[in-house]
Amino acid sequence: MHFEHSQIKIDGFEIISLTYNDQLNNHKKEIWVIPGFGMNLCKYLYNEHTIIEFDAVELREVFYGTPLLYPTPNRVYEGKFNYNGKEYSQIKNGNLITIHGLLHNEPFEGVEISQTEESISVSAYVDFNETSHLYSAFPFEHRITVKYTLDKSGVRFGYEIENRQQQEFVPYGIALHPYFAKIDGEEGTLIRAPFEKTYETTETLHPTGKLSDLNESTDLRESRPVGKLRLDTVYTDNRNNEPAVVDYSKSGFQLILSCSSDFTHMVIYTPEGKPYFCLENQTCATNAHNLYSQGMKEVSGLKFVEPGSKSGGFIRFDIEKK
């Protein structure tokens, strides 16, 4: 096994490349991470296959690569949320943020690269405090640290939230929004996601709080071709925390999405005619803070860090040969 790291500059992005190379077994993986743009995992390579693609234009103008969604994953109704009787507006740099949280394009600080015999990692953090322009949108003093680790099995995303307040909880949700490539096309790229329930949503895709049983269009407990799906759907109720699976059937490998027990939800997005699809592990439902404030505490999935404490979890994107 051989691990390396390097720095790349493309179209103004400072990228850190982490590489694993096992020449004896013809097994190579590489990831690109951009600390200065939301700690975005913007590229994921396995041998000749590109699982996540880097595109500088899409990264800036849309949400591409693997945006980090925090502290309000996916949509927030009208860009506002209520918590403990107070209303908070998600305004950043003068703009109302109604989707995908505050960090997906933020610069992270304290970049560190570390290596062992078994892995190589890059980590960085963002502080929410009175000196930060993020604080007015989410005025809870804390630090969030993100770490990507590459090992022989795949990629591990880890996060830790340190609550620096002595009296208040930090109410949060976190998610990854990876844009996976349809490597084997619409019919040959298969998805399996072992969830039992979906959320009923409004026309604007905000959950009402009501859970629905699976139907013919949403049941992914058995593998189905991505090209036959038309989803932008919030899932929950994975009782055994089983991994979701992307089966690249023609290419002879599977991508296994496993996670810690705090990631209780997943948004599955399969846009028609696009070269990508998304399986988004989330710790909560979309619009979780508002669901919680409306009395739907358990359904919201909202997570908390106690005063003076730390909390965290992980997601893995592992590769298994078939």
User: Which of 19-28, 43-52, 87-96, 220-229 has the weakest average pLDDT?
Assistant: 19-28
pLDDT tens per residue across span 46-63: 999 999 999 999 999 888
Please say if the pLDDT value at position 149 is more than 70.
yes
Q: CA angle, corner 263, sides to 299 and 157, nearest 5?
A: 155
Return d(Cα 297, Cα 295) in angstroms, integer: 6
Predicted model pTM? 0.97
43, 157 in Cβ contact below 8 A? no
* pLDDT for res 216: 96
Average pLDDT, the chain: 96
CATH of the domain at 142: 2.70.98.10
**Residue 262: domain span:** 2-321
What total of structural domains would you count in the chain? 1
pLDDT band at 1 (very low <50, low <70, confident <90, very high): low
Please say if the pLDDT value at position 10 is more than 80.
yes
pLDDT tens per residue across span 150-182: 999 999 999 999 999 999 999 999 999 999 999
* pLDDT for res 22: 85
| Alpha-carbon separation of residue 259 from 195, 204, 240, 282 (angstroms) | 14, 28, 11, 10
pLDDT tens per residue across span 202-230: 999 999 999 999 999 999 999 999 999 99
Mean pLDDT, residues 185-191 taken together: 97
Please say if the pLDDT value at position 3 is more than 70.
yes
* pLDDT for res 23: 76
Return d(Cα 286, Cα 270) in angstroms, integer: 17
* pLDDT for res 26: 77
Helix (H) or strand (E) holding 115, with range, is: strand 109-115
pLDDT tens per residue across span 274-314: 999 999 999 999 999 999 999 999 999 999 999 999 999 99
Return d(Cα 91, Cα 73) in angstroms, integer: 15
Nearest by Cα to 99 from 63, 48, 58, 135: 63
